Structure 1
């Protein structure tokens, strides 16, 4: 007998949190599409100032508990309180440095999918003192391996798949379920003039994005490209330091820190650019890279985890390899794009590549994994009439 699937999606933030990023888009797209397919979905997350403790959006029930760190134990307590009542058939447990360790409070039969966007071991030290960074590494590594030993990891790219094997020592099953992509309408109004060349970087303003490398790049390129404009789009805790450094380096007329902008303005800024840039030290994937590609804009990024998957070197962008000067790579890319035939070829390759990543396919792949695991665990049939259905 078929009945609705009861699913919990557990993620550090929701898509409307001020610090939301690609991980929140991923969790939300899964949640809303599972709900549209008839599942009963709870999205468990932290609560930002001014957010409701609970609400229902697109048939997804949001439960917001605690803040940056307290959300972890509060989510476990909330789930433990429902273990004997409204139980879940499956849980999507999203890791952001450390997962929620939901198997600790769930019946053993409930399958858990630990979603890992990228391995954080090298990043803990950028945000926390040494002792707390060590705690994070232990939780992400040995504790996670033991906790999810009867469950599976879901990763978003081949880079992350390699990292969980080599750096976390995970020997259990993994499934690659990539991000999708969606681009807003290009009807946003951009008041700042276009540069010659015009470069853009869409990013969270946090330490591991290495914003200083963007400013180094602007300083170097300005010597050979006096019409250069670099637009940095995004917000985060490094915003005040970034603006101060732009002024200190005398780059006010060259680099514009836009902060947060509406999606249609972001899309308009990217669409008119010659190149999109990323100086991140590592990603799980590269959602901003694919969104730029969907607009026909190639990316120059460093040859690091995630970005080496999102950028097809020499086809949809250019990678800065170890020993390369990033400014020289950008100059080479701009020179290639001066040839209109080559620019058209790159634009076409970018859009073809981006079209391979669709949120409906992402949710469909995850749905197949969840339904199969629920059946194997002895749950009642869900969705038998449409086993390959996509939305």
Structure 2
């Protein structure tokens, strides 16, 4: 049978070594590309790049970088946090949105002729791909990744975009089972077409050989865009309130518009020495960062199914997390980590204090975290298998059949 040709549409995709935007999308496609031919349509960044080029690490992937503005202005989509964080960092970039969306739409429309199936990431791409799929008579699958679904609860525009994506996609994939169940209730007529495919972790995290540090200090790792949604202000406050704060050191990986206010908060609360802000680091460095941590903290106010938690668990690092829908089931209080209420700095401080003082329990929860990840999460290979099965379902429903990406 003929090899499947997949056209992928994404507002975030790493274009060079060290890029951080959309690395989980890249991880999926690199696994799928072992048997599929994949064309990725995504925004160009502010550095020189060819309009179309091959992914050197995955010969089966060809990248189409859309130039939507003068090069110096192309900072809306390809920096850490993607479009939404880019708009928070520089609100005037909203003027570039029409050009970005039209450029993605037009390039995807041109590339769709040779594709067997279109895969869209996030609801805005799903809405555009749905129109292209109708025009080109191609089946569309949309993956919703959490932030788009969360915004739809607060914004009529995002609700409309989400509705278009769901209605015009043959299959909708969610990155958590809780999200899939919520969408099935919201769109009962599409219930059978909404599925969950859980993101895996890179094999490198499972290979980490780690143990709790032998000293009395607690090495804390936190990763995310420095925006209010991620709740780093709560983490700083929690460390300030902790009884054993002098024994804690927090490494924060990520960048964003809240960097200076967070630094000022740490200084005003007298805990600057407890924090190191290292900025954005390449995805390839994260296994090493994880290996050097005793505990991982997610202080977010909202999440889909955070990949950073998946990676921490796979690395055998217990997680202290806010009690969010996308985290429940992965972080189990008293087993693989600690769950605390959103915005509850006192509860987060208490969890950190317990992690400092009870090293045996910290080690036990880390071992349970890795055991859970091996059985319940798996690697990107497992994620790719889930996608391959749904791709075949979409093609079969349209009266066409091709070899799976794994064949």
Q: TM-score range by the shorter chain?
A: 0.7 to 0.9
Give aligned pairs, total. 363
- Matched-pair contact (CA < 8 Å) for 1:200–1:277: yes
RMSD across aligned positions (CA): 3.1
Q: Tell me what 1:353 maps to.
A: 372
Structure 2 SS opposite 1:253: helix
CA 1:168 to 1:281, structure 2 compared with 1: closer, same or farther past 3 Å?
farther
Does the 8 A contact of 2:316 with 2:370 survive in 1?
Answer: yes
Structure 2 match to 1:160: 179
Report the counterpart of residue 389 of structure 2 in structure 1: 368
1:28 aligns with 2:26: yes
Query: 1:75-114 maps to which residues of 2 (within 5 A)?
Result: 75-82=104-111, 86-95=113-122, 99-107=126-134, 109-114=137-142
Tell me which protein shows more helix as a share of its residues: 2
Structure 1 segment 166-315 matched on structure 2, within 5 A = 166=185, 171-172=190-191, 173-182=193-202, 183=204, 196-221=217-242, 223-263=243-283, 265-315=285-335
| 1:320 matched to 2:340 | yes
- Specify whether residues 123 and 195 from structure 1 end up closer, same or farther in structure 2 by C-alpha distance, changes over 3 A only: farther
Tell me which residue corresponds to 1:191. none
1:67-116 C-alpha deviation (Å, 9 max, x unpaired): 54333222222233355xx3311111111666342121224752211101
- Other structure's SS at 1:229 match: strand
Structure 1 residue 198, shift from structure 2 partner: 2.4
- Residue number among 160, 173, 176 corresponding to 1:138 in the alignment: 160
The alignment partner of 2:126 has SS state of: coil
Partner Cα separation in structure 1 for residue 267 and residue 173 of structure 2: 43
Q: Which runs of 5+ in 2 are unaligned?
A: 69-73, 77-96, 210-214
Q: State how far apart, in whole Å, the 2-side matches of 1:248 and 1:339 are.
A: 29
Q: Tell me if structure 2 keeps the 8 A contact 1:164–1:170.
A: no
- Partner SS, residue 310 of structure 1: coil
Residues 353-388 of structure 1, C-alpha deviations (whole Å, 9 max, x = no match): 2223210011111111112321331224324xxx9x
Contact kept in structure 1, 2:41 and 2:108, CA below 8 Å: no
TM (norm. structure 1) is 0.81
Structure-2 separation of matches of 1:121 and 1:157 = 12
Shift of 1:301: 0.8
Q: Is the 8 A contact 2:216 2:356 kept in 1?
A: no
TM-score (norm 2): 0.79
Aligned-residue offset at 1:259? 0.9
Q: Given the superposition, is the C-alpha separation of residues 339 and 162 from structure 1 closer, same or farther in structure 2, using an over 3 Å criterion? A: same
Indicate the SS of the match to 1:8: strand
Residue pair 2:184, 2:194 contacting (<8 A) in 1 also: no
The aligned counterpart of 1:130 is none
- Aligned residue among 17, 33, 44 for 1:47: 44
